[in-house]
Structure 1
């Protein structure tokens, strides 16, 4: 257990690292439709994402599944793109039920977990206590994720309730911006994947 604090710290630092901003963008767009009053929905949504990425992170670390790194690196911005598009069209179409959103977060979590696994594998090397380190890293990831969620929910509150921007306008602007960023990211990674 002496390595627990180290791997916990590495987990939250990894999720908050702006060099790997794709995971931050996903959490932002996943929560962009919600405000503080929706905290229960957000908690379930983030938990679904957590369960998904914890499963594939563990399966990859224990060598049950192997990771095609270029494919996963391409699929991560695709998950962001789809989530942003879902937010953008939600007003024009009949909104999907929360169960669909939870399922989507769980499924996309599976993809993101494979992305985290390469980083964690490089840290573990030939470590003998993989289970403890994997658990600590996952808890650290969740801590970092919750910081992002707290930040985005606070900003949403300020923009909607204090600045008085309409909720739909705020969500549309944020989701559209992230859609554009993730589109470029996916295109660049597709070029690497097919080269």
Structure 2
């Protein structure tokens, strides 16, 4: 019978607890309302619609809040860094994602480029599916080649940014102070992304030291893929069956 180490509980138990913590994130995405994906909470929506002028701190807060509660963003980031070990590689991919979603979020709102929210959110759900399949090595087995992971991260970053810009456009943000407020919001998004990324890295880095990581890594990516399909299916159903506003 396996004896506990002197430093704490058995390693298998620690591995299971870490896996559970990561699975909670996937489970939340499976059952969370779409209000936490790209929509802004009703109270925040009212605030955005009513204020005019420059309000940097509130918009920084709103941007950070959006990213921390944006399950689709976090799931995609989890997929991106799942098998990245070196800090410079993590920084490269996270920067590509940030450049992508910052560009389309700012340009989309400024130039009033809106995309149907159901369609763009369905694509964002598929970005989670894509990354989970990539982590499982599906493309090498199915097609015999590896897609460019950096290009994919940047491209899907563009879609994530359009998802947010589409919602902001729907809330008719005041043109008075638009540019500074948008920049502040984007700063908040990046702060929220760093907070979420830090939490993910702490958990997954701890898990990687456990034997259970390689045992359950494939299962974890299957769960992420399932979450992506659920998010996508929900949006497609909304596109066809949601009542017109």
Same structural fold, with TM-score higher than 0.5 when normalized by the shorter chain: yes
1:147 aligns with 2:195: yes
Superposition TM-score, scaled by structure 2 size: 0.69
Corresponding residue of 1:171: 217
Matched, 1:34 2:81: no
Residue-pair matches, total: 187
**Alpha-carbon contact 2:54-2:180 (below 8 Å) kept:** no
CA shift, 1:76, in A, is 0.9
Residue 185 of structure 2 corresponds to: 137
Q: CA deviation at 1:95?
A: 7.9
Match of 2:36? Answer: none
Unaligned runs of 5+ in 1: none
Higher helix share: 1
CA distance in 2, matches of 1:150, 1:91: 29
Q: Can you give the 5+ residue segments of structure 2 that lack an aligned partner in the other structure?
A: 1-52
Please give the alpha-carbon distance, in whole angstroms, between the structure 1 residues aligned to 2:157 and 2:102: 8
Query: Aligned equivalents of 2:134 and 2:201: distance in 1?
Result: 19
Separation (CA, whole Å) in 1 of partners of 2:238 and 2:172:
27
* 2:64 alignment counterpart: 12
User: Is the 2:118–2:235 contact (alpha carbons within 8 Å) kept by the matching residues of 1?
Assistant: yes
Q: How does 1:1-80 map to 2 (within 5 A)?
A: 3-17=55-69, 20-35=70-85, 38-63=86-111, 65-80=113-128
Tell me, in whole angstroms, the C-alpha distance in 2 between the residues paired with 1:121 and 1:65.
8
Higher relative contact order, structure no. (Cα contacts within 8 Å, ≥ 6 residues apart): 1
Counterpart Cα distance in 1 of 2:56 and 2:90: 27
Supply the RMSD in Å over aligned alpha carbons: 2.4
Q: 1:170 to 1:42 in 2, by over 3 A?
A: farther
Q: TM-score, normalised by structure 1?
A: 0.85
Partner of 1:160: 208
C-alpha displacement at 1:193, in angstroms? Answer: 2.3
Contact 2:106 2:183 in 1 (8 A): no
* Cα distance change, pair 95–149 in 1 and its aligned pair in 2 (3 A): farther
> 2:160 aligned to 101, 112, 120, which one?
112
